């Protein structure tokens, strides 16, 4: 049968036997009595069931494909610790729109629609690892108390209203930044925001510790879909030497080249920017060369360092010049 979402108005197909469903467009959970009688469900606590695949197996498949990992990594690694954490996450559906203009008559229009998760923990390793993590949105189920016994259960450390204020502030500043980049010296002509709560979800995250030869390595795996969030792994001497060589090459060619170009076009600034670029390019491989452990992720870009809290939000924003 076809049902219509009471919040966003989208129409979508569900099997005739289904009595509760989640709108694929805005994430609202609906109770269906008949196609004509659809209501927002009153439950707002969910959990994600744990995927059946062994997280250590997913981890080994991932690290064995990573650049520089030893060939015997799967055969020679042993699992030492396996913890399942149920992490509290508030989900919001965010819609924002801002129109700005300046004296010269330039105007811009920034809009934003996305799911925004807030991990309801204040500090700790898990908060660091999950910063900016794109949690799965589909597949959640109504909360069941038996979940509390399945792993390390974390209660939310702040309430939903506090989380909502974080999201609203992030949305406004992201819109403002984006508008400012487009139209300098602007005034806000119009701004609309809607931040809708989409439930508290207890989300499964595996923390694994494994041993390869005489060292221990830590990894975090998404319990709901098996994605590798963060994995430490050993890298071979050859790989480290190759990284060192690459860093050296970037410096050895980049620096003289920038000087030559600077002299050629008589622009000292070209030399400086060129030098900065080659040093910046050489830093990531040099860092890798100096560490025994490498880090990889299936989802996030680690080279840039930890993302800032609202970077994830900003990067979705599209600005349209009017």
113: contact with Zn ion by CB under 5 A:
no
What does the buried/exposed string (b/e) look like for 283-319 if buried means 16 or more CB atoms within 10 Å of the residue's CB?
ebbbebbeeeebbbbbebeeeeeebeebebbbeebeb
Kindly state the smallest distance separating residue 233's Cβ from Zn ion, in Å: 41
Rank residues 8 and 136 by Cβ distance to Zn ion and give the closer one: 8
User: Segment contacting Zn ion (CB under 5 A): 10-18, 135-143, 150-158, 166-174?
Assistant: 10-18
Tokens of 177: 């930044």
What is the C-alpha separation between 263 and 249, in angstroms, rounded?
21
25: contact with Zn ion by CB under 5 A:
yes
183: closest CA among 239, 104, 289? 104
5: contact with Zn ion by CB under 5 A:
yes
What is the C-alpha separation between 280 and 303, in angstroms, rounded?
12
Of 3, 21, 22, 23, the one binding Zn ion by CB under 5 A: 23
Angle between helices 237-264 and 268-290 (to 10 degrees): 180
Q: What angle do CA 224, 227, 232 make, to 5 degrees?
A: 125
Rank residues 112 and 222 by Cβ distance to Zn ion and give the closer one: 112
114: contact with Zn ion by CB under 5 A:
no
User: How many residues lie near Zn ion (CB under 5 A)?
Assistant: 8
Kindly state the smallest distance separating residue 8's Cβ from Zn ion, in Å: 3
Rank residues 27 and 274 by Cβ distance to Zn ion and give the closer one: 27
Rank residues 137 and 319 by Cβ distance to Zn ion and give the closer one: 137
26: contact with Zn ion by CB under 5 A:
yes
Residues 28-57 that bind Zn ion (CB under 5 A): 28
User: Segment contacting Zn ion (CB under 5 A): 15-23, 39-47, 154-162, 237-245?
Assistant: 15-23
Per the CB < 8 A criterion, the answer to whether 233 and 217 are in contact is yes
17 Cβ partners below 8 Å, 6+ apart?
none
Rank residues 112 and 232 by Cβ distance to Zn ion and give the closer one: 112
Per the CB < 8 A criterion, the answer to whether 309 and 289 are in contact is no
Residues making contact with Zn ion (CB under 5 A): 5, 7-8, 10, 23, 25-26, 28
């Amino acid at each position: 049968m076809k049902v219509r979402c009471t919040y966003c108005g989208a129409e979508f197909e569900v099997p005739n036997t289904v009595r509760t469903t989640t709108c694929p467009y805005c994430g609202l959970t609906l109770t269906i009595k008949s196609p004509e009688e659809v209501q927002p469900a009153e439950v707002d606590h969910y959990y994600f069931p744990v995927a059946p695949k062994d997280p250590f197996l997913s981890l080994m498949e991932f690290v064995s494909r990573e650049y520089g990992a030893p060939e015997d990594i799967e055969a020679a690694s042993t699992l030492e610790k396996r913890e399942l954490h149920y992490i509290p996450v508030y989900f919001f559906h965010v819609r924002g729109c801002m129109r700005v203009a300046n004296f010269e008559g330039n105007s811009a229009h920034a809009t934003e629609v996305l799911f925004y998760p807030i991990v309801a923990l204040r500090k700790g390793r898990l908060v660091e690892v999950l910063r900016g993590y794109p949690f799965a949105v589909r597949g959640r189920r109504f909360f069941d108390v038996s979940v509390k016994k399945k792993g390390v259960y974390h209660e939310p450390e702040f309430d939903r209203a506090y989380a909502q204020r974080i999201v609203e502030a992030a949305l406004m500043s992201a819109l403002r930044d984006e508008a400012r980049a487009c139209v300098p010296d602007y005034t806000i002509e119009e701004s609309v925001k809607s931040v809708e709560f989409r439930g508290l979800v207890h989300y499964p995250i595996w923390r694994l510790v494994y041993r390869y030869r005489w060292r221990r390595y830590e990894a975090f795996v998404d319990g709901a879909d098996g994605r590798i969030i963060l994995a430490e792994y050993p890298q071979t001497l050859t790989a480290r030497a190759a990284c060192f060589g690459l860093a050296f090459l970037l410096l050895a060619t980049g620096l003289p080249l920038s000087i030559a170009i600077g002299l050629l076009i008589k622009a000292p600034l070209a030399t400086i920017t060129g030098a900065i670029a080659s040093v910046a390019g050489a830093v990531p491989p040099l860092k890798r060369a100096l560490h025994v452990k490498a880090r990889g992720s299936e989802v996030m870009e680690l080279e840039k360092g930890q993302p800032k809290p609202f970077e994830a939000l900003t990067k979705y924003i599209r600005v349209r010049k009017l």
